[in-house]
Every structure is written in C-alpha cells, then in structure tokens.
Amino acid sequence: MESKLQLHGFNNLTKSLSFNIYDICYAQTEEQREAYIDYIDEMYNAERLTQILTDVVKIVGANVLNIARQDYEPHGASVTMLIAEHELTNGEEPDNEESPGPLPDTIVAHLDKSHVTVHTYPESHPHDGVSTFRADIDVSTCGLISPLKVLNYLIHSFDSDVVTVDYRVRGFTRDVDGTKHYIDHDINSIQNYLTEDTQNAYQMIDVNVYQENLFHTKMMLKNFKLDNYVFGVNASDLDPQEAQSIEDRLRREMLEIFYSRNVE
C-alpha cells in the first residue's frame, strides 16, 4: 500500500480536467436540422446540465455554494457551480488509485473544491446535412484527489461519438520536510480511469508530457451504425448509394474532429 504523503499545511496543487464530447448526426432537410437542434436544446438544457453537474459535485464530495445557469437564444446553455471543500470523515482515506471512478448509479467518492462548468454548442454544416453537438465541461479542484474520477459518469451522461480529455496538475505542495511535490498521485494514462467497456468501445490515443504533468487522451467510437446517426428517417429507407454517401460524410466529420484537422 502506498504510504500517505505527510504535508506541511494545505495541499496547494490545482488539478484541472477539461472534457469535450461531440455528438454527430445527419439531418437532411432544413426542417430536420432545426428539429435536431431543438431536440439537443431540450435534451441538454440548463436544468438537465445542472443535474449532471450536481451529480459531479456529489462524486467529488463537495458542497455547492452557488449556481449560475443560462439557456441561450437561439441555442445552447451553460452552467457554472462554485463548490466548497468537503472534509473527509473519520476513517475515510482519499482515493488516489489510478482506476475508474463511479458510474451514474453508484455515486461514491470524495474530493475537494473549486468549480465545475459546462457549455453547449449545437451547430450544423451549411451544405451537407451534418450536424454536431459539442459540450465542454471543466472540473477544477484543489486538494487530495484527481477529478479524473468523474470521467465515467460524464461519458455515460452524454451520447459521445468523439471525446477529448485534458488533465493538468499545476503548482506544488510541500511535505513536512519542506520538499516540493508537483503531483501527489501516480498517473500513467487517462485511459486507466476508464472502465473496460468504455476502453473497448473507443479507439484511443494518448499525448502525454509527463515531466510537465500534462495528460491528453482522444477517443472515437468504434462501432458505426447508420441508424444511430440519421435524424428523422430510418437508414433502411435510404437508397444504398445515398446511405453510403451519408456514412462517408459522417465518418469524415468524426475523423476531422478526432485528428483536429480538415480531411481532403
């Protein structure tokens, strides 16, 4: 068992998790595109996002101090929560193990304080029928446990075709001997905080800068079923050539987002 780090004063490390999910669909007509965006606006309105972030706060064991939320016109929403430190009760130890956190139906864990935010961005291609919904979520904490423990919950809370995750530990804290510690937990890869079913469902790549405590993981869903991506129609009703053309456009959209570059 890893020995507990004896600190001099408060843990001054700041741990920041930035999590971006993309949901992609094909909406052929202007009416279908408007219906898709309306659906996304209703599915992920400020009230629903507030509930998701409230669950995130439960996972990190914090207390909500203030909530600011807004539904925007014509589309999109945002929620920001200021959260306060939660003291661990007698006998509880911080969970620093490099392992997956809880799923939505098993919210148990403890962490410290700062803020959580979410912003949504629905948009559509001007010509080829591809629409993309993006949600940006940031969890920033100061204290003992990494906010990576919320990843499982967040990935299962959204329909995620492409996911990008950035994690950074900033600052330093001192032990009782005065030695600086720039990170207080072992981490090899963000992937180790994901459950096996999630790892199997996504193609993933890492770009990590260990000496700077910077960790980056990109994820793209492996299985592609056209019925899950066409909005307002059934894939079986499409002409095979048209269906293939739509699939090609959707796959291109996913690849461009995954690799962060336009594909010719």
Separation of alpha carbons 173 and 182, rounded Å: 7
> What amino acid positions are annotated as catalytic residues?
114, 119, 142
Separation of alpha carbons 21 and 165, rounded Å: 9
SS3 assignment for 57-90: HHHCCCEEEEEEEEECCCCCEEEEEEEECCCCCC
Phi, psi of 138 (to 5 degrees): -125, 130
Confirm if 161 and 24 have CB atoms less than 8 A apart.
yes
Greatest Cα pair distance, the chain, in angstroms, is 72
Separation of alpha carbons 113 and 22, rounded Å: 27
3-state secondary structure of 149: helix
Residue 122 burial (C-beta neighbours within 10 Å; 0-12, 13-18, 19+): buried
H helix or E strand, kind and range, residue 169: strand 162-170
